[in-house]
Amino acid sequence: MSQANPASFAAQPAADQQFLLAEGPLWDPAASRVLWVDIRAGLVLEGRLDGAALAVTARHELGGTVGAVVPASDGSLLVAAADGFALVRPDGAVLRGPRVLPAGVDSRFNDAAVDPAGRFLAGAMAEDGRTGEERLYRLDADGAVSVVDEGFTVSNGIAWSPDGSTMYHADSGPGIVWRRPYDVETGAAGPREEWLRPSGGVPDGLCVDAAGDVWIAVHGAGEVRAFRPDGAQVATVRVPAPHTTKPAFAGPALDRLLVTTARDELSPEQRAEWPLSGRLFVADVGAVGRPAPPWAGDAASFAASL
């Protein structure tokens, strides 16, 4: 398809439950489960996907805000929590790491992802209107934390090309999707360059399919849009909720596009107009995703780093 005539798809509700700010859907192939968070409620959620229907199977209440969750190598859940990292062990016990974000500022962790070598990258966002002061952090398997880059406002949408040589990263503040070279062996991130500025909304979460196309939730537009690496738009997924937050390919075959949405910033009139906001949606888009690697660390390495 050309940019002037992208394929069009419609998403349908996958679950009855509604959330304030659902984010970060992820298929965990080792456990055949969907993971996601409700940021404002401080919830980490697990679900079972049966066809196009998603049922919640477990909830973990961490309190505060929760930006993102990924599986760890031992089946634990690694969480980018309010101002640091936490780990939920398979028995439900929560281990909390030290504060990572600077003290004295109103910031929180937001979106996060695991690179092809098992490193956890998590970005922060300002909650008080500050611009250009947030950082992108990395948590290694041994618990070491480092700064990858800085100068962001609302860090979002981290993903890699199929060969791992290119990293995509959105900043919803200025509405830019950045692209940079990435060395999977060392974790070194090269200089970023502006790749895309979606129109009619801001780029939120994103994912990359097996063909290398980038699927971006356009917050405010009620859409997920897919782009080739050259920037040509190849697909639009219409979602009956204006605040789309992140897409992910889910299911055993990674052939269903799961989309989270939010309702926390909608007015009462907008909630009445978009009553499905806050649900998760699913669409068949004729594309296939790639298995998400777990964080290479585990509960033992996390605890040892405390």
Residue 135 has phi, psi (to 5 degrees) of -120, 160
SS3 of 270, please? helix
Which pLDDT score is estimated for 5?
A: 86
Which amino acid is present at 57?
T
Render 9-67 in DSSP notation, one character per residue. Answer: EE-EE--S---SBEEEEEEETTTTEEEEEETTTTEEEEEEEETTEEEEEEEEE-SS-EE
Which pLDDT score is estimated for 4?
A: 66
Residue 301 has phi, psi (to 5 degrees) of -70, -35
SS3 of 133, please? coil
Strand partners, 158: 169
* CA distance linking residue 45 with residue 186, whole number of Å: 32
Q: Please enumerate in sequence order all residues whose Cβ is within 8 A of that of 267, keeping only pairs 6 or more positions apart, or say none.
A: none
* CA distance linking residue 138 with residue 118, whole number of Å: 11
Count of CB atoms situated within 10 Å of the CB of 247: 30
Counted residue by residue, the chain has a size of: 306
Q: What is the largest CA-CA distance in the chain?
A: 53
Which pLDDT score is estimated for 1?
A: 38
Q: Please enumerate in sequence order all residues whose Cβ is within 8 A of that of 265, keeping only pairs 6 or more positions apart, or say none.
A: 243
* CA distance linking residue 111 with residue 205, whole number of Å: 7
Which pLDDT score is estimated for 3?
A: 53
DSSP 8-state code for residue 192 = -
The set of catalytic residues is 204
Supply the pTM of this predicted model: 0.97
Q: Which of 224, 226, 235, 194 is nearest to 208 (CA)?
A: 226
Which pLDDT score is estimated for 2?
A: 42
pLDDT per residue as tens digits for the range 41-69: 999 999 999 999 999 999 999 989 999 99
* CA distance linking residue 166 with residue 189, whole number of Å: 9
Q: Classify 51 in phi/psi space as left (phi over 0), alpha (psi -120 to 50) or beta.
A: left
Domains of the chain, by residue range, sit at 7-304
- For the chain, which ranges sit under pLDDT 70? 1-4
| Burial of 306 from C-beta contacts in 10 A (0-12 / 13-18 / 19+) | exposed
What the block records as the tokens of 151 is 């100068």
Q: Which of 269, 283, 185 is nearest to 238 (CA)?
A: 283
Which amino acid is present at 7?
A
Query: Domain 7-304 is of which CATH architecture?
Result: 6 Propeller (2.120)
Which amino acid is present at 44?
V
Which pLDDT score is estimated for 299?
A: 95
Which pLDDT score is estimated for 306?
A: 86
Which pLDDT score is estimated for 97?
A: 95
Render 134-185 in DSSP notation, one character per residue. Answer: EEEEEE-TTS-EEEEEEEESBEEEEEE-TTSSEEEEEETTTTEEEEEEEETT
